[in-house]
Structure 1
Amino acid sequence: MPISQNQFEELAKSLPGVGTDPHSVRQRVEALEKLLERSFVIPGTKIPFGLDSVIGLVPVIGDLITAAMGAYMVWEARNLGMSKWQLMRMSANIGIDTALGAIPLVGDAFDFIWRSNSKNLRIIHKHLDKHHPGTRIIEG
């Protein structure tokens, strides 16, 4: 049974992190960044890595998949009304990550150093903290 747009919006509002409000967007991009950049730790060290590094090991396809996941963060940023300059910076971060990450071996090492999704999350946080201060989370 199909649901109407109004019913869908009401359902989305009731689920945490599914809405279109800035707080929900913040939750989604933070979760995606953690998944892509910091979801695992190299055993015996404190060096984090995520799916961006793991999926990037698959030549070409892996880099395209992680680029698409990073582009989702840019799309969320656009929906927040971020400036074209900020969106271009975020897109450039993903472009550099994708282009250099596609180089065999060197690109895989580069993925550990150039964390484009973390850089993009900082840009989004700066925007949210300035324009939507109510979304700020104080960690203690």
Structure 2
Amino acid sequence: MIDHEVARRLRRSRQIATLLDGAWRIPYTPWRFGLDSLLGLLPVAGDVLGALLGLAIVWQARQLGAPRGLLMRMLGNIGLDFLLGSVPVVGDIADVAFRKNDLNASLLEDWVAKTQAGKS
């Protein structure tokens, strides 16, 4: 895969993560939240939709040829967030504190960096 394509997929993953996990700042705090936190306020459907949107980053990783172990770890992060989201109040706090999409984008970026370093 050409480097331009890799960069494009990484950029798209980071944009998705920012939209879902850190698009807005809570005033006078270092905390950020995104669309995933807002969706989490909707019982069940919001958590399902948040998990489905988070799969977009896993899809980008799959398209880049990420190893199965990395994909499983990313899916595990989404599953953990989904389970936490099913607990009232705790799930809402977890959506702000446990930023699964940001974590998954970082995991993908780290894997690509290691892969690119190995080619040099």
Q: Secondary structure at the match of 2:88?
A: coil
Q: For each residue in 1:35-86, what CA deviation from the matched residue of structure 2 results, as whole angstroms up to 9, or x when unmatched? A: 0111001112221111111111001111011100111111110110000000
TM-score normalised to the size of structure 2?
Answer: 0.89
Note the residue ranges of structure 2 that are not aligned, 5 or more in a row: none
- Alignment partners' CA distance in 2, 1:48 and 1:114: 11
Matched, 1:73 2:57: yes
Aligned pairs for 1:1-140 (under 5 A) are: 21-132=5-116
**Alpha-carbon distance, 1:130 to partner:** 2.0
Structure 2 match to 1:5? none
**Alpha-carbon distance, 1:102 to partner:** 1.8
Q: Report the number of matched residues.
A: 114
Structure 2 match to 1:17? none
Over the matched positions of the two proteins, sequence identity in percent amounts to: 39
**Alpha-carbon distance, 1:131 to partner:** 2.3
Of structures 1 and 2, the larger Rg is shown by 1
Structure 2 match to 1:4? none
CA RMSD, aligned part only? 1.3
Q: Secondary structure at the match of 1:118?
A: helix
Name whichever of 28-37 and 39-48 sits farther off: 39-48
Letter in 1 for 2:35: L
Letter in 2 for 1:55: L
Higher helix share goes to which structure?
2
